[in-house]
Amino acid sequence: MLKKLLVMLFVCFAALGAKAQELQCEVVVNSEQVQYTDRQLFTDMQNRIFEFMNNRRWTNQAYSVDERIKCRLLINLTEMPEIGTFRANVQVVSVRPAYGTGYESTLFSFIDKDWLFQYNDAQPLDYVENNFTSNLSSMLAFYAYMIIGMDNDSFGRLGGAPAYDKARSILNLAASQNSVYPGWKPFESNRNRYWMIDNLQDPQFLPFREGIYAMHRQGLDLMAENPEKGRKSVLVVLQNIQKLSQQKPGAAIIRSFFEAKSDELVNMFKTAAPADKQAAFTVLSQVDPTNNSKYETLLKR
């Protein structure tokens, strides 16, 4: 009996000390628009993608279970041109905790409208580094590294560089296939996978990446302790992004940033001093006019 107890205790302590995978990824596959008799196929697809994202070690970094990056893949299947081939638009979202609070900040949000892939439940869904195994596995791996890179950038200045290098390698391999798969090449769109990683690796976008760090470590992580100082740090970040936007209008990563952050920014500045509210509104309404109706609430008493 004592021996069994010791074994159980050992297993428990080992589990507590074990290092986890990087991602805690929720996966939803919506197949309502696809007419296909065998609906189990879509359940299998969702489960396979969940396992692919969550059961793999993407880096050599050590993560504890509670340090895993929370993220979501919302895969909306829109068409099955032929049996086993699917088109989809996909929303990729990741969040990051704010220090000293229970608040989770949306860090990355992007809607990818260029998913085209084959899926067969009889074939394994796998990823082999430096090899193109399938477009589905390449797209999933690409976003795994984008999520990890953005998260690392938010905790350490330019900390996401190794993950972005991995994402770039995946893109280069996929683009070199000379295939019909969209989203990997610059001329196909001004807002696709190519431009997302290109922006993040462009030296001209260093102020943006440094801003991701400053906004989170020197802004959001300070809000519970010193909200005024935190807001002023965020305002400086926004002003720098405004300058970058003037140099690079319509940049994919800047649009993605405001998709993730617009509501959060309104909530952050609605209790600010009048001068800071006005300064935030001036910047936000210029750099992100799409969400101007949200920002106008900052001027209301």
Mean pLDDT of 199-203: 98
pLDDT beyond 80 at 142: yes
pLDDT at 37: 84
pLDDT beyond 90 at 16: no
Mean pLDDT of 169-188: 91
pTM of the shown model = 0.92
pLDDT above 70 as % of the chain: 93
Mean pLDDT of 76-99: 96
pLDDT beyond 90 at 278: yes
pLDDT at 15: 41
pLDDT at 12: 43
Mean pLDDT of 170-176: 95
Mean pLDDT of 9-38: 75
pLDDT beyond 90 at 254: yes
pLDDT at 19: 64
Q: What is the pLDDT of residues 146-157, one digit of tens each?
A: 999 999 999 999
DSSP code per residue over 185-221: SGGG-SSSHHHHHHHHH-GGGHHHHHHHHHHHHTTGG
pLDDT at 84: 93
pLDDT at 177: 83
Residue 43's pLDDT band (boundaries 50, 70, 90)? Answer: very high
- What is the rounded distance in angstroms from the CA atom of residue 252 to the CA atom of residue 108? 12
pLDDT at 124: 87
pLDDT beyond 60 at 4: no
pLDDT beyond 50 at 274: yes
pLDDT beyond 80 at 11: no
pLDDT at 269: 95
User: Own/partner pairs for 238-246, CB < 8 Å, 24+ apart?
Assistant: 238/265, 238/280, 238/283, 238/284, 238/287, 239/283, 240/207, 240/208, 240/210, 240/211, 241/207, 241/208, 241/211, 241/287, 242/283, 242/286, 242/287, 243/207, 244/204, 244/205, 244/207, 244/208, 245/287
